[in-house]
Chain A
């Protein structure tokens, strides 16, 4: 039996970055908004204080701040010919849970995609010809351009106090920044962070090889900052317990440190935590959302009616909700038709570990932050001529090492035994003089016919609902891309003076146990054609006009950058369309 709550103007599913952004925008427009979050309230004051947040076992190894698989998980297989099996413990990615979502424990790496990334199919076809692209590659143009998103990228960067050095100011290339970036209207709100020793050395070596290194755009504050909403953050102290952890001293941008203090004060805003939305409800026509159904911790079911439903959950959960609610045509791998679940992507990550003379190099790897680092972008997107190489895509690469936490980060040279005296000695001798960037090569993953999401036929969550099934494997294009990039990356460490450089190429098959960022994208993509996308360019559902779906689930393919900047820019872009167009005239914003 479902209990019906009083109707609201807007119900938001999930209170992470996009939930907080959209809730703040729509409450400013005078609407009354309720946000329903599956996980608990989180904040430094109540959950990650500076006297116990720095606990590697608890947070990095036991995953305490993340979604627990027994609350829900996914199944996985490489190929459609296989049986998918449950992800019983997270590995390749770490889904968030709780207020703030991934924004609580992310690194803070805040990039913009390239202008060409948004018109990828058009751009690559024009430059290389359609035959250069693999026949099963399903990349698409987004329906929105970099120029349209620029003010929204800017807005998010100023919300977050991003620390960086601009590379392209209104068309003029700036020294010290990323010369490949799209033009930005104004500089970053904060100067770049200070860079530790190895990151600085990497930049020197990269410059010596003719590259243009620049500091990674960072959501860790380089100095105290007051954002446009009046919320304040303090300076990052380079603690080395950033990603996977909550920031205990108000110096990492998150919904908690940028938006929520203002949002929760508003009389027209309310949030419910520990409540899981199980269904988006629609009327008998199936073309109008009437609200959502959710379950609280006692198992009681509630109905929250609303005029406008905004889904702001993590990528896969957005797709799951659409599938379970019967909204949109599910993607059918066999026929290639349908849109919900198609164009699912991740990232193509690899690393280079290097060993230096310990009598000459002391790196203090524990002095770091989540988004620190010096990077080069020469090999991202279509920033270089791919014609000789036989692949498309690319990524940034950098010495972006975030930590020296010893359970995770005690590199030893290849061939070192994994235990015993030799192991112990090698760990001791190399800790201060070895480098392990982590996500050193951050490559794109483009979309393919046979990489998709649907519902598993066998495995269920604790509420008895089918788990989402992930069918994913690497394609030759990405593995080639990665091989090429990893070799380039390794050259830089060689130039730094490493005694030994170990390339750790990404190899197939895609392995659910090996961590590769949590940048899962696609499954409910935006586009210009309802036949091949779930949402229009305003992230409005083609099928249900009073339903909008935020997040990286909208990406038709993933680029060679962390997605959060683009996720947030799209949320602001969509919220603006809702405020200036939809509210005045509710209905489809576009007619296909």
Chain B
């Protein structure tokens, strides 16, 4: 009996070694890694959405890196985090892994660029990061050399991160607020830590650090504008119930909106895998994030730009989005109630109008409706007019969009394709 057990353990270790392809510094002792631990790690890897950066969609090899990440200062590429000992992290110790994730340091002491969201992951517990490590260890090792630093001078000098970290990085685990519920705290942990929502949704200053007085008020990234997700009823998600938020994160759709672009990816890889309880916790936390309705007066309906925009809207948009802007729940976004429409930057709106967009298709909401492209059909002035109309109707108010804004958007989109 005992002998069989030892043999079984030996086979496990052997297969574990083979699985990891490790032959030097080795993987954790499998008898210390329970299935539950690995499964928890799989879940947290999804929550932290490691795949979004570390799996190249064109390459498909899970977590093998290589995907270019846009930063305000140029491109970096995500590292290979499979257990490959030469090109991946197979040789890293658990402490080294933890330092990378929660302190932004590589084993050689160099600093990571904050494209790796260690600013947020620092809030994660060591226990959670360790579970992620356990999970990553079980992956197929992929031999894939990745050149991560693709920034131009002077940003390619990693030592410069020293100063940046001093300004913007406060390491430390999340501290629960004893005055709040367990659910709120769980939500806060998820949002501020592994979820790293602020990475996209909080505006950044000139040097790329979070503007903490405008938390979750929206930010332009990868030629999309990650919208305001505060509780403001006009600028943010104030009209959404908890259920709306949960549905959106779970399926990519709710009665108000559909996720497109990077958020569609997030839903597909990350939040659609999360439990109802965790999604509800996130909703609970976000509902307490204050925002501010911008004090802008809407343009008068008789304004010539509004009149032209109204004509275009009636002829081209109303068949899906309806005359009153309410769309069709779970299928066609509600523009009238949309914080995204009210965004302080028109990056997303112009992008979607010019080249179309496909929304997320998930198990719960498989339809995946797409917005068509209008860039071939409308002039800059016409797109500016209909954008202005939408942003000044049904309770919205915003400065007029200019034809030059549209021209810039077209150029940026073209450049990113070339």
Q: Which of A's residues lie within 8 Å of B, judged by CB?
A: 43-45, 49-52, 224, 226, 229-235, 237, 239, 248-250, 261-262, 265
Contacts and interface: CB of A to CB of B under 8 A. Distances in A.
Given A45-B358, A50-B319, A234 B328 contact: yes
Given A51-B316, A234-B320, A249-B319, A229 B366 contact: yes
B370 interface: yes
Given A261-B367, A265-B361, A265-B363, A235 B328 contact: yes
B272 to A, nearest CB: 12
B331 interface: yes
Closest 4 CB pairs of A and B: A49-B372, A45-B370, A234-B328, A261-B366
A43 B329 CA distance: 21
Given A232-B331, A233-B331, A249 B367 contact: no
A226 B330 contact: yes
Contacts of A250: 331-332, 367, 369
Contacts of B374: 51
Contacts of B319: 50, 237, 239, 248-249
A49 B328 contact: no
A234 B366 contact: no
B364 interface: yes
Nearest to A260: B366
Interface string B239-283: 000000000000000000000000000000000000000000000
A230 B370 contact: no
Contact of A261 (B329, B361, B377): B361
- Most B CB contacts (10 A, CB to CB) among A45, A231, A262 go to A45
A224 B358 contact: no
Contact of A231 (B316, B358, B367): B367
A45 B372 contact: yes
12 contacts: A44-B370, A50-B320, A229-B366, A230-B364, A230-B365, A232-B328, A232-B369, A234-B328, A239-B319, A250-B369, A261-B366, A262-B366
A231 B366 contact: yes
B373 interface: yes
B233 interface: no
A224 B373 contact: no
A50 B366 contact: no
Contacts of B68: none
Nearest to B372: A49
Nearest to A229: B366
Contacts of A248: 319, 372
A49 B366 contact: no
Interface class of chain A by DSSP: loop
B361 A232 contact: no
Name the interface size band of chain B. Answer: 20 to 34
A235 B377 CA distance: 25
Contacts of A224: 328-329, 331
A417 B358 CA distance: 51
Contacts of B30: none
Nearest to A52: B377
Interface string B332-364: 100000000000000000000000101001011
A50 B331 contact: no
A94 B278 CA distance: 53
Contacts of A45: 356, 358, 369-370, 372
Contacts of A239: 319
Contacts of B365: 230, 232
A249 B320 contact: yes
A316 to B, nearest CB: 33
For B328, B358, B368, B377, which residue has the most chain A Cβ atoms within 10 angstroms? B328
Nearest to A257: B367
Contacts of B316: 50-51
Nearest to B357: A45
B67 to A, nearest CB: 23
Nearest to B366: A261
A341 B295 CA distance: 74
A234 B333 CA distance: 11
Contacts of B364: 230
Contacts of B367: 230-232, 250, 261
B160 to A, nearest CB: 44
B351 to A, nearest CB: 16
Contacts of B356: 45, 49
Interface string B367-399: 111101110010000000000000000000000
Contacts of A43: 370
B258 to A, nearest CB: 11
A235 B319 CA distance: 9
Nearest to B329: A224
Nearest to B328: A234
Contacts of B366: 229-231, 261-262, 265
Given A235-B328, A250-B332, 14 more contacts: A44-B370, A50-B316, A50-B320, A52-B377, A229-B366, A231-B367, A232-B328, A232-B331, A233-B331, A234-B320, A261-B361, A261-B366, A262-B366, A265-B363
